Amino acid sequence: MSTHRIDYVGIALRVIEHVIAKAYDTPIEPNEGVRLALAVLVKFDVAKVWQARQFWHHLRTHDASVAGPTVGYVRKSGLNCMVSAWYRAAKRKEPDLVERAAMRDAYKAKSRSD
């Protein structure tokens, strides 16, 4: 029998980070991977059920009242606040701004090539 432990919370937080990077400029439809990551965070008491529901809602929300370079500010702020709280609850180090910017840039480059 293997004694290898799987870091489910760490994996879930990485999935959430990548989803935020993908949703930075435009709302996205959440998928089963996001649902699973949120379920893991709730199961391990990192996130509350209401927080997971709010995150799901924010992924799909676009603040039409905001225009120009600040489009989606409310969505991005909400997503970042929730994931920051989850890192604290999990007693994990949160990615810094440079790491998050690198993830966003990777998604932008990928979307341009598709």
Say if 30 falls within a structural domain. yes
Range of the domain at 99: 8-105
Say if 114 falls within a structural domain. no
| Amino acid residing at 53 | R
Structure pTM?
0.79
Say if 1 falls within a structural domain. no
pLDDT digits (tens, 9 = 90+) for 6-36: 899 999 999 998 888 888 777 888 899 999 9
Say if 45 falls within a structural domain. yes
Cα–Cα nearest to 61, from 53, 51, 72: 72
Give the span between the Cα atoms of 95 and 35, in whole angstroms: 21
How many folded domains does the chain comprise? 1
Which DSSP helix (H) or strand (E) runs through 114?
A: none
Say if 54 falls within a structural domain. yes
- Residue numbers of the chain with a pLDDT score lower than 50: none
Say if 28 falls within a structural domain. yes
Say if 60 falls within a structural domain. yes
Token pair for residue 101? Answer: 């910017």
Say if 43 falls within a structural domain. yes
